[in-house]
């Protein structure tokens, strides 16, 4: 076995069985990893191409960049770091996705479509202001929506971080469809609140070209970059 063969901890991260080398070391020393059917606890062990490495009887697969669409339920935080008692989306997703980058976060009280990927260039193409990728939301308010309110939202509402213009259309007594291409923090909620409206539900249903209404809460599917771009 030569130095080109990766250490066991690096291998586990590479195939999605551990989120970091530190976590991989913990898994290895706990006796949960086997090589060719034999438990391996030596942190210095290197893996050969012909070895079958398993964690709790499950093997991983080397892959290129991955892309997923995820239906975030209300109550989860879009962060890699735990915040208070609230769960993060990565606590609900498979461990292999622990380091994926997020294209457009949703606040804790919002729900709906998210795109995650290991491909930083892809994420940047969606999120950078110059890309102008539209995102579509369904917004439900405590109050009924008047056409005059919609006209004000479309004309532009002054917020502390600048004017917010939304492409808004009425789809129900207290429901609107909102399209935005920028992504300031809680922009839609703040715009509505400025006009005296309380948002009781905010759901993202489309990012760029991609929409999937069949995804259940907490469900994800693998996608391709061209599905979004």
Distance from the Cα of residue 228 to its chain's centroid: 14
Q: Give residue 62's pLDDT band: very low, low, confident or very high (50, 70, 90).
A: low
* Mean pLDDT score, 148-169: 95
Name, in order, each residue with C-beta under 8 angstroms of 4's C-beta and a sequence gap of 6 or more. Answer: none
Active-site hit among 25, 107, 119, 227: 107
pLDDT, residue 2, reads 52
Please give the structure tokens belonging to residue 66: 């991955």
Q: Is 17 helix (H, G, I), strand (E, B) or coil?
A: coil
Per the annotation, the verdict on 227 as an active-site residue is no
Confidence band (pLDDT; 50, 70, 90) for 63? low
What is the set of domains in the chain, with CATH numbers? Answer: 8-55 (3.10.290.10), 63-132+209-229 (3.30.70.580), 134-207 (3.30.70.1560)
Which residues, 6+ apart, have CB-to-CB distance to 186 below 8 Å?
A: 107
Q: What is the pLDDT of residue 162?
A: 93
Give the per-residue pLDDT at 183: 75
pLDDT given for residue 135 in this prediction: 95
pLDDT of residue 199 exceeding 60, the answer is yes
Per-residue pLDDT at 190: 96
The pLDDT, as a whole number, for residue 42 is: 95
**Both tokens assigned to 112:** 């709906």
pLDDT value, residue 61:
62
pTM: 0.72
Cα separation, 43 vs 46, whole angstroms:
8
Give the whole-angstrom CA distance, residue 151 versus residue 166: 10
pLDDT band, residue 128 (cuts 50/70/90): confident
Nearest Cα to Cα of residue 124 among 115, 137, 112: 115
Higher pLDDT, 159 or 104: 159
User: Any idea what the Cα angle at residue 201 is, between residues 115 and 80, rounded to 5°?
Assistant: 35
- Read off the pLDDT band of 83 (50, 70, 90): confident
Q: Are 157 and 189 in contact (CB under 8 A)?
A: no
Mean pLDDT value of segment 113-118: 96
Residue 163 three-state SS: strand
Q: Is the dihedral of CA 78, 167, 219, 67 positive or negative?
A: negative
The model's pLDDT over 143-153, given as tens digits with 9 standing for 90+, comes to 999 999 999 99
Strongest mean pLDDT among 3-7, 123-127, 140-144: 140-144
């Amino acid at each position: 076995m030569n130095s080109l063969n990766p250490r066991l901890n690096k291998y586990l991260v590479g195939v999605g069985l551990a989120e970091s080398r530190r976590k991989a070391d913990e898994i290895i020393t706990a006796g949960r990893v086997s090589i060719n059917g034999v438990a391996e606890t030596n942190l210095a062990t290197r893996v050969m191409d012909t070895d079958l490495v398993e964690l709790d009887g499950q093997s991983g697969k080397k892959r290129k960049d991955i892309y997923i669409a995820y239906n975030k339920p209300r109550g989860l935080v879009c962060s890699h770091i735990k915040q208070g008692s609230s769960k993060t989306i990565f606590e609900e997703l498979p461990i292999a996705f622990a380091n994926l980058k997020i294209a457009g976060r949703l606040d804790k009280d919002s729900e709906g479509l998210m795109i995650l990927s290991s491909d930083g260039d892809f994420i940047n193409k969606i999120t950078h202001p110059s890309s102008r990728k539209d995102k579509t939301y369904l917004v439900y308010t405590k109050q009924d929506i008047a056409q005059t309110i919609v006209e004000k939202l479309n004309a532009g509402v002054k917020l502390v971080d600048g004017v917010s213009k939304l492409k808004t259309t009425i789809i129900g007594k207290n429901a609107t469809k909102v399209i935005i291409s920028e992504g300031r923090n809680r922009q839609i909620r703040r715009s509505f609140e400025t006009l005296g409206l309380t948002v009781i539900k905010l759901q993202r249903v489309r990012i760029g070209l991609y929409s999937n209404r069949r995804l259940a809460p907490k469900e994800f599917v693998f996608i391709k970059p061209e599905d979004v771009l």
